[in-house]
Chains A and B, each alone.
Chain A
Amino acid sequence: MIGDKKTRGMFVFIIALMLVLPMVSAGVGISWDKESTLVPEGTKTCLTYKVYNPWPTESYVQIKLSDGLTSLLVSAEAETKLIPAETSSEEAMPITFCFKTPTVYEKDCALFGSLLCKQDCLEEMINFPGEVEVIELSEEEAQRGGSGGSTTQMSVSAPLNIKVQCVAHKRNYSLVYVLIAAIAGILLLVNILKRRKFKEKASKRKIKKRR
């Protein structure tokens, strides 16, 4: 009889748990104030997005960049982040990404293809369109039975357009001037040293002659 009561109690508990468990589902939110950014080519820049979860269950999220942007990614914060339940948009948690824009515009170089370069910036601005996606990771796999079915995954995303700025500059001849200055300096130094040695020898000869 006692065993029966225990079994019945366990049965009620399991039923209650089964009723409560499916009611639990987590959500995910994203907050952003920038959809495009202008970055000079070859420079590193960081962007911050915010994630939040105004829903009653905490959630684990992962940040992902669309394929067009992953090649530019230098660093990103921890891949998986826990967002506590009831985190409002005002308390949103920041997540930072750093990008390094590639060198995309052609330069006109006079020497060895990489020295004495100038950049006119006549080409159109190059864009890297993409998006930042925040994916919610379920803690448990969905229950499956019979002929199976589809598990579900949710995400939210914000558009991000990285515009690479071309920085126009004239040909810089500094290297040539440095080389000329160096050659002139060396020749001057060699000449001065030669002259000094010659003077020393001459004075030694004079001393010998006197003796």
Chain B
Amino acid sequence: MEKKFNLFMVIVLFFSISLIFLENGFFIHGFAIEGDIQSNVTISKFLSIEFSPELSNGILFGDVLFLPSINTNASENYGGTLDSTNYYIQVSADGNVPVDFCIRANSPLTSQYLDVLGIDNETYSCSNESTLSNPFLSNETVLTLNLVKCGESIFPSSSNYYRFWLDIPAAQPSGDYNNTLSFKGLSSGTSC
């Protein structure tokens, strides 16, 4: 009886171990020979942008002495040659894709005493060329806290031009107001 029990246990042990091997495919070996030719392509994209020196230094509206003030020009809106704008972003020639630009404000213009000039008072317009009138005031868009596209398919070696305006209501408390504008360059056709 005892011998039979031991024999049964040995058989169980043997089958269990065999099943473990079978379950994990240790006994399965396959050999296949095929004559395939691989087709391969690597698509690389690269882009680089640079602020104009004036844009790099920030968008300044100077001292506003009379209120209310409507469409106050940023200091370099007409600072370029033939009254073109000095606010632009260049797309490097060392790039292989056209670039779209997105813009947003991190907050409304806010003073150090936390007085806020509503975000809809700061506006901008953009264009892929700059003249006395272009970017047009008539195309002004209110800044938002979310990224919005302004400037599409700007090719390497060209620039995207901007003008900025500010409205200041008469009741706005005096003070220095600041915020940060972010400009993002991305491969054309990609969403912000």
Hey, which bits of chain A sit against chain B, CB under 8 A?
22-33, 50, 52-55, 88-89, 92, 131, 133, 138, 142-159, 172-174, 177-178, 180-181, 184-185, 187-188, 191-192, 195
Contacts and interface: CB of A to CB of B under 8 A. Distances in A.
A50 B46 CA distance: 9
Interface string B168-179: 100000011111
Contacts of A191: 2, 5-6, 9
Interface string B13-54: 100110110011000000000000000001111111111111
A98 B64 CA distance: 50
Contact of B13 (A144, A146, A188, A192): A188
Nearest to A172: B23
Contacts of B68: none
B49 A28 contact: yes
A146 B179 contact: no
A27 B99 CA distance: 14
Contacts of B175: 147-148
B132 interface: no
Contact of A154 (B17, B109, B184): B184
25 contacts: A24-B56, A27-B51, A27-B92, A33-B44, A33-B45, A54-B92, A89-B94, A143-B57, A145-B60, A147-B61, A147-B62, A147-B176, A148-B178, A149-B74, A151-B179, A151-B181, A153-B181, A154-B51, A154-B184, A155-B183, A172-B24, A173-B19, A174-B23, A177-B19, A192-B6
B59 A154 contact: no
A148 B107 CA distance: 14
Contacts of B10: 184, 188
Contacts of B54: 22
B182 interface: yes
A54 B94 contact: yes
A150 to B, nearest CB: 4
Interface size class of B (residues with CB under 8 A): 35 or more
Contact of B23 (A50, A154, A177): A177
A153 B187 CA distance: 18
B89 interface: yes
A133 B43 CA distance: 19
B154 interface: no
Contact of B16 (A24, A159, A184): A184
Contacts of A26: 50, 56
Given A29-B95, A156-B48, 4 more contacts: A25-B57, A52-B48, A144-B176, A154-B185
Contact of B177 (A131, A147, A154): A147
Interface string B103-126: 001000101000000000010000
Contacts of A54: 48, 92-94
A148 B94 contact: no
B46 A30 contact: yes
Contact of A181 (B13, B48, B64, B111): B13
A155 B187 CA distance: 12
A146 B94 contact: no
B146 interface: no
Contacts of B186: 131, 156-159
Nearest to A170: B23
A154 B183 contact: yes
A158 B187 contact: yes
A22 B57 contact: yes
A74 B20 CA distance: 35
